[in-house]
Every structure is written in C-alpha cells, then in structure tokens.
Structure 1
Amino acid sequence: MTQDEAEAADPVGSNPEHYRVVFENERVRVLEYRDEPGDETSPHRHPDSVMVTLSGFRRRLSSGDRVLDTVLDAGEARWLPAQTHSGENTGATPTHAIFVELKGDPLATPTVAPPLGPS
C-alpha cells in the first residue's frame, strides 16, 4: 500500500475484523475497536478523534519510520490528532476501545438549533 493509499484508507474498510461503526451522523462517527494479542492492523487514517479505552492494553503504533510503544489503562480518554498509522497489540490482553471521530469544520456554527436531548 502506498502512503497515499494509507492516508485515504478508512479503518472500517481496511480493517473490518477490528473496527465497526456504532453510530454516525453529520458531526461525528463512533467506532468500536477490538483485537487480540498479536493482532496487527494495516495502515489507515483517523481524523481528529477522542479515544476511550474500555480495556487496558499495550500496543505499538507505526507511521512511516516513526514507532511508538504505549501502555494504556482501562477508562482513559485521550485526544488523538488526525493521523495515519498501523498498529500491533504487543501485550497479553485483548484491546477494546471506542473512537469518536470528528467530522467537518470544528468552528462551523449549526444552521438550525439542535434538538434537546439525545438523538
């Protein structure tokens, strides 16, 4: 896969065994991510996102020649700027996380008043 293809790769399409859409509207897309120890993902792109860890895990993220090893506990919320990467579960436990991907212009003002309550 070329760098251009990786930048365009949606994780749900490129890694459907790990990512699934649980909610989507015009402002956000919410993904659930699951894997097992030793699982790897192919290169894919995320827009600006918030990740919430539902399990503790250890992983290696790779982007070009950059590599980051990280350990996260269950219940953490982290801001993730837009990025292209691949990943590997390097720990002994499954990974379970939620990604809230932001869409569109973050400074845009809604053209209509939003409804009250969840939708």
Structure 2
Amino acid sequence: MANDPVDTNPENYRVAFENELVRVLEYTDIPGHKTTEHSHPDSVMITLSAFRRRITSNGNSVEVELPPGVVRWLPAQDHSGENIGETETHTFFVELKGSARPADSQAPQPLGPSGS
C-alpha cells in the first residue's frame, strides 16, 4: 500500500493483527501531535478514548470529535491528522483487504466453530 501509516508514522501505528482478510492497526498519539499524509483502505474505526482532531485531505480540513466506544465506517482515503484536543488518542482500525466471501461461494459459512 502506498503511504502505509505503519511506515509513514511508525511512532503512532502498530499492526495488532493481520491475516489474508484484514489488518488491524492500533493508533495512539498525544495532544498536539500531527501525522504525515498516509493511506487507509476501506476500514472500520473503533475509538477507545475520546478525542478531537483535525483531518486534512486534498487541501480540505474537517474537525472531528468522538467519544470512546464509537464504531465508524471509513471509506478508503489519504489524509493527515492533528490531535487538537486535550486528551491522548487511542483507536483501532480494521482495514479490509477484500471480500470476506469469494464471489463463487454458494452459501454463507457459519460464524463460529461447528459442532460435530
């Protein structure tokens, strides 16, 4: 991936889990910290702490404030961010690598172990 956040901002992002379907990144920062521009594929963000930040992409900026415990869909994007709040940020990003079910699959698979 171009501008992989683990490479561009290694002090903030770490790979917490990865397999052929997803990569889970843990993100932390402190007030005043700015990231360099980086890319995310389609992802689900899970906030563990409240935070306030400015997100900048393609010359446009938006301020975001979220409480802990929010789960939010994020479409693929390139951006940089700045912690403009008074608290540390702690989030997880579940980055999707592709369809979880092959297109030629005939039926959904069970969500847990099957009993035999």
TM-score, length of structure 1 as denominator length: 0.85
For structure 1, the residue ranges without an aligned partner over 5 or more in a row are 1-6
Distance 1:73 1:27 in 2: 28
Q: Residue by residue, what CA displacement relative to the aligned partner does 1:23-70 show, whole Å, maximum 9, x if unpaired?
A: 000000000000000001000000000000000000000002110101
Where 2:6 maps in the other structure, the secondary structure is helix
After TM superposition, the structure 1 = structure 2 runs for residues 1-119 of structure 1, keeping only pairs within 5 Å, are: 8-105=2-99, 108-109=102-103, 116=113
Aligned CA RMSD, in angstroms, stands at: 2.3
Distance 1:55 1:113 in 2: 33
More helix by share: 1
Structure possessing the higher radius of gyration over alpha carbons: 2
Aligned-residue identity in percent? 56
Residue type at the aligned position of 2:10: P
For structure 2, the residue ranges without an aligned partner over 5 or more in a row are none
Shift of 1:114: 8.5
Distance 1:15 1:64 in 2: 19
Tell me the matched-pair count. Answer: 111
Residue type at the aligned position of 2:30: E
Q: 8 Å contact 2:37–2:79 — kept in the other structure?
A: yes
Runs of 4+ aligned residues of structure 1 deviating over 4 Å after TM superposition are 109-115
